[in-house]
Amino acid sequence: MRNSDRLAQFVEASLEQQHSREEISETLSAAGWSASEIAEGLGAWAETQNSPPIPRPMPYVSAKESFLYALTFVSLAMTAFHINWLGFELIELMLPESSDWGNGYGEVRWTVSALIVFVPIFLFMNFRVLNEAGKDPARRRSTVRKWFGYITLFIAAVVIAGDLIAALNALLSGDLTLRFFLKAGLLGGVAALVFVYFRGEMQDAEE
């Protein structure tokens, strides 16, 4: 039997015997359980009086939702990537340099084609996820949702930090051209939008 299961059984039995949470916490602490383990064990049960212990709803993992969130995550990543790629190509076409070479319009067509595919996929999958969560609030407790959400937040934060570092380095070295500034602004703006959106999503999931 896992430690978490043993702890859950003990907490449930203690609550059934009308022991206070303070007494249970002190007993577990004296037995060697950590503060975080005790908090998690007690947090699994609602605070009620004169009634049997009532379990709180817990996060869960679903294979179907893993597929939905994975597809949403990939389509978002491809959408953000190609928005930036398209922006970069347009900036280079508007502000050409002597070192530019190749058929820029060919890459623009490829990027637009990718956006035509991935933007509808992301919008549809995101709408479906939000719609199902609205109909069934239990879906907001999905562990998969939290994992993909926090991974997205992490990637967006890293991109924003890297973008700021590159911009500051270009500024300090005197290489901050208008073209570079526009590219950095586009990349940072897209990453910031993604970060703000998923930060709100994760706050809602935690609540």
Per-residue pLDDT of the chain (207 residues), as tens digits, is 677 778 888 888 888 888 888 889 999 999 888 888 888 888 888 877 666 788 877 766 778 888 988 999 999 999 999 999 999 988 888 887 665 555 556 678 888 999 999 999 999 998 988 888 778 776 777 788 888 889 999 999 999 999 999 999 999 998 889 999 999 999 999 999 999 998 988 887 666
| Beta carbons of 69 and 152 less than 8 angstroms apart | no
Residue 55 backbone dihedrals phi, psi, to 5 degrees: -70, 145
DSSP assignment letter at 32: T
Angstrom distance (rounded) from CA 120 to CA 135: 22
Q: Which tokens sit at 103?
A: 């058929």
Among 42, 71, 74, 37, which residue's Cα sits nearest to residue 55?
A: 42
- Contact between 148 and 73 (Cβ < 8 Å): yes
In 3D space, the residue among 112, 14, 5, 129 whose CA is nearest the CA of residue 66 turns out to be 129
Query: Which residues does 25 contact at the CB level (< 8 Å), separation at least 6?
Result: 38, 42
